[in-house]
Amino acid sequence: MNDPEQSLWQTTCTETVPAPPLTADAAVDLAVFGGGYTGCSAALTAARAGASVCLLEAQEIGFGGSGRNVGLVNAGLWLPPDDIRAHIGTEPGNRLIDLLAKAPSDVFALIDEYGIACEPVRNGTLHCAHSASGLKDLHTRHAQLSEAGAAVELLSADQAGERTGSQAFHGALFDPRAGTIQPLAYAVGLARAASQAGARIHTQSPVQTMTYEGGHWVLVTPGRTVRARSVIQATNAYHVALPDTAPAYVPVYYFQYATAPLTDNLRASILPRKEGCWDTGLIMTSFRLDQAGRMIIGGMGDLGHAGRVAHSGWVRRKLAELYPQLADQPLEHGWHGRIAMTSDHIPKITQIGPNALAAHGYSGRGIGPGTVFGRMMAESLLAGDPSLLPVPAVSEHRENWTRVRRAFFESGAALTHLVKARF
């Protein structure tokens, strides 16, 4: 099995972008650091508006969660609408719900406009009920989403079986707004589009210090500096250095395994409409097919942790439980990534200084929200108008007991997978 830091998506990504390390000082309207969905969307938006832009990435484009996730382009957040309103208020909650309901359309429109080669399939997603209580939760979500105007459909157990090709579920919630992509290729494609629009994209260029001097920000990378009128920090769960602006979140690991490409006979019986899927389990399971017909199945856990044996054993058993015909399929790839989770599961925008914003905390829903937040943060800074932000910026966001909670999640996932791998 490969290094858990090396994902399948790195192997199958065909998108490229010229992104050499920064070798000369620069002065720009907007500096962005972090080359995932948020940062690349912000850079593209600002460059299209005619601003001078410099994007700095410490590793490679999509190195963090943007290049390691499942590839589900979901509408909305993990929370149902009523919970969002309860946490942030009715008016801002409704605004965020409406913005993120349209997020998949924003993503697929960018893919079409820039010809991003990221295996886009917009056939919806299935939220699958793993138990009777899970089905009850889907009934609640269906009612709330329908009231909010979403054309979601609640499926019976038989209908879910027909759509998934698995008899393991009590029902499912179908969301036609959503879809799947090759997630790393989408991030690289956004960076390529930003570069073509005039943005300067530099990888292997970590921001080591950031200071505000004379009305400008000065970002120092190894040997070079960037002066900028405005700054967007888009590092999320892969923040390095700069302790004063480090985002507060609970780091949660999520892993995935991929089979070899399935034969045509096997593919015919599994997800015939190619929806992306996840279930209602507390320790969630996701599964989908990629363009080559690999089954990609994932769950919560750290493959670099002692629990790797439990996680890998669970995958084989879970795969056989969902699809007995895949019980003997070899697993060719296994990888993981970090999720920045907030206590209320709502993304945060923090004001880290004058004309400087940071976003984090997508809690496992980064593709659509990251695209939207990056675009709107850039629009807000260029216009000098905070009302353009998707959620109001806060001066700081705190999370308590992050290490303890991270250990709790990992231990719980490992124990659950260990038990389910044996029985």
pLDDT digit string, tens, across residues 388-420: 999 999 999 988 766 656 565 566 655 566 566
pLDDT range class, residue 26, cuts 50, 70, 90: very high
Could you give the CA distance from residue 124 to residue 104 in angstroms, rounded to a whole number?
Answer: 10
Q: In CATH, what number is assigned to the domain containing residue 277?
A: 3.50.50.60
Q: Per DSSP, what are the bridge partners of residue 211?
A: 218
Could you give the CA distance from residue 337 to residue 22 in angstroms, rounded to a whole number?
Answer: 26
Contact between residue 116 and residue 194 where contact means Cβ atoms under 8 Å apart: no
Contact between residue 378 and residue 230 where contact means Cβ atoms under 8 Å apart: no
pLDDT at 164: 98
| 129 lies in some domain | no
- Residue range of the domain that includes 79: 8-124+177-422
| 165 lies in some domain | no
Beta strands 72-73 and 53-56: pairing type? unpaired
pLDDT at 401: 64
pLDDT tens-place string over residues 181-237: 999 999 999 999 999 999 999 999 999 999 999 999 999 999 899 999 999 999 999
| 381 lies in some domain | yes
pLDDT at 409: 57
Which two tokens mark 108?
């697929």
Contact between residue 342 and residue 269 where contact means Cβ atoms under 8 Å apart: no
pLDDT > 60? residue 422? no
Q: In 3-state terms, what secondary structure has residue 210?
A: strand
Provide the Cα torsion 388, 93, 68, 127; round to 10°. -140
CA atoms within 13 A on the CB side of 310: 19
Average model confidence (pLDDT) for the chain?
94
Could you give the CA distance from residue 204 to residue 40 in angstroms, rounded to a whole number?
Answer: 15
| 162 lies in some domain | no
| 103 lies in some domain | yes
pLDDT at 423: 42
Contact between residue 109 and residue 41 where contact means Cβ atoms under 8 Å apart: no
| 150 lies in some domain | no
Could you give the CA distance from residue 403 to residue 280 in angstroms, rounded to a whole number?
Answer: 25
Percent of the chain with pLDDT over 70: 94
Average pLDDT score over residue span 97-103 = 98
Average pLDDT score over residue span 75-101 = 97
Provide the Cα torsion 27, 28, 32, 36; round to 10°. -110
pLDDT tens-place string over residues 132-167: 999 999 999 999 999 999 999 999 999 999 999 999
Percent of the chain with pLDDT over 90: 88
pLDDT > 50? residue 284? yes
pLDDT > 70? residue 54? yes
User: Within 10 A of 91 (CB to CB), how many other CB atoms are there?
Assistant: 9
Q: How many domains does the chain have?
A: 1
| 107 lies in some domain | yes
pLDDT tens-place string over residues 15-25: 999 999 999 99
How far, in Å, are 312, 314, 411 from residue 318 at the CA level? 10, 6, 19
pLDDT at 404: 55
Average pLDDT score over residue span 59-84 = 97
